[in-house]
Chains A and B, each alone.
Chain A
Amino acid sequence: MALKGWKELEPGVVILEPGNTIEYKSGRWRTFRPVLDMEKCIHCMICWVYCPDSCIMVKDSKIVGFDYEHCKGCGICAHECPKDAITMIEEVKAKAEEVK
Chain B
Amino acid sequence: MVEAMVKKPLIKALEGDKAVAEAMRQINPDVVAAYPITPQTEIVMEFAELVAEGLVDTEYIRVESEHAAMSSCIGATSAGARAMTATCGPGLALMWETLWVASGLRCPIVMAVVNRSFSAPLNILTDQTDMMGSRDSGWVQIYAENHQEVYDNAIQAVRIAEHPDVMLPIMCGHAGFVLGHTLGRVEVLPDEVVRKFVGEYKPLYSILDIEHPKTIGAYDHWDYFFEHRRQLFEAINNALRVIPEIGQEYGKISGRYYRLVEPYRLDDAEVAILIIGSGAGACREAVDEMRQKGVKAGMLKVRCFRPFPADEIVKALKHTKAVAAMDRCECFGAEGGPLFIETCSAFFNRGLPMKMVDYFYGLGGRDTVPAEFCDIFRELSKIAETGEIKPPIVRYLAVRE
Task: Please list the residues of chain A having a beta carbon within 8 angstroms of any beta carbon in chain B.
Answer: 3-6, 9-16, 18
Which residues on the B side are within 8 Å of A14 (C-beta)? 204-205, 214-216
Which among B204, B215, B220 is the interface contact of A11 at CB below 8 angstroms? B204
Taking a contact as CB atoms under 8 Å apart, the answer to whether B224 and A12 are in contact is no
Measured CB to CB, the closest approach of chain B to A10, in angstroms, equals 8
Contacts of B228 in A (CB 8 A): 6, 9, 13
Q: Besides A5-B227, A9-B227, 14 other CB < 8 A contacts?
A: A4-B224, A4-B227, A6-B231, A9-B224, A10-B204, A11-B231, A12-B105, A12-B167, A13-B106, A13-B217, A13-B220, A14-B214, A14-B216, A18-B215
Alpha-carbon distance A77/B228, docked complex (angstroms):
37
**CA A20 – CA B205 in complex, angstroms?**
18
Return A90 CB to nearest CB of chain B, in Å.
25
Q: List 27 A-B contacts (CB under 8 A).
A: A3-B224, A4-B224, A4-B227, A5-B227, A6-B231, A9-B228, A11-B106, A11-B231, A11-B235, A12-B104, A12-B105, A12-B106, A12-B204, A12-B216, A13-B104, A13-B105, A13-B106, A13-B218, A13-B228, A14-B204, A14-B205, A14-B214, A15-B218, A16-B205, A16-B212, A16-B214, A18-B215
Collect the chain B residues with CB atoms within 8 Å of residue A4's CB. Answer: 224, 227
Q: Establish whether residues B106 and A6, one from each chain, have CB atoms under 8 Å apart when the complex forms.
A: no
- Complex CA gap A49/B227 in Å reads 37
Alpha-carbon separation in the docked complex, A55 to B220 (Å): 22
B213 within 8 A of A: yes
Q: How far is the CA of A94 from the CA of B328 in the complex (A)?
A: 63
In angstroms, Cα B105 to Cα A13, docked, is 6
Minimum CB distance partner of A19 in chain B: B213
Asked if A6 meets B227 with Cβ closer than 8 Å, knowing A14-B214, A15-B214, the reply is yes
B223 interfacial contact with A, CB 8 Å: yes
Q: Does B230 contact A (CB under 8 A)?
A: yes
Interface residues of B in 191-207 (CB under 8 A from A): 204-205
Residue B215 contacts which of A3, A6, A9, A15 (CB distance < 8 angstroms)?
Answer: A15
Give bound CA distance, A4 to B106, whole Å.
19
How many residues on chain B are close to A (CB under 8 Å)?
A: 22
Shortest Cβ-Cβ A-B pairs, 8 listed:
A12-B106, A15-B215, A6-B230, A6-B227, A18-B213, A16-B214, A6-B231, A14-B216
B residues lining the A interface (CB < 8 Å): 104-106, 167, 204-205, 212-218, 220, 223-224, 227-228, 230-231, 234-235
| Chain B residues whose CB sits within 8 angstroms of the CB of A10 once the complex forms | 204
Contacts of B212 in A (CB 8 A): 16
CA A11 to CA B138, docked complex, whole Å? 14
Report Cα–Cα, A4/B230, bound state, in Å.
Answer: 12
**Which residues of the other chain, B, contact A13 by a CB distance below 8 angstroms?**
104-106, 216-218, 220, 228
In the complex the two chains form, what is the Cα distance from A14 to B78 in whole Å? Answer: 10
Q: How many angstroms from the CA of A3 to the CA of B223 in the assembled complex? A: 8
In the complex, what residues of A have CB within 8 A of residue B220's CB?
Answer: 13
Q: A13-B105, A13-B220 are in contact. Are A18 and B167 (CB under 8 A)?
A: no
Residue of B nearest to A17 (CB): B214
CB distance from A59 to the nearest CB of B (A): 29
| CA distance in complex: A11, B214 (Å) | 13
**A43 CA to B194 CA, complexed, in Å:** 68
Residues of B contacting A11 with CB < 8 Å? 106, 167, 204, 231, 235
Report A9 CB to chain B, min CB distance, Å: 6
Considering the complex, give the chain B residue whose CB is closest to the CB of A16: B214
B104 partner residues in chain A, CB cutoff 8 A: 12-13
Nearest-neighbour CB distance to chain A for B221, whole angstroms, equals 9
Distance between B124 CB and nearest chain A CB, rounded to angstroms: 36
Smallest CB separation, B253 vs chain A (Å): 29
Chain B's closest residue to A18 (CB) is B213
Residue on A with the closest CB to B226?
A6
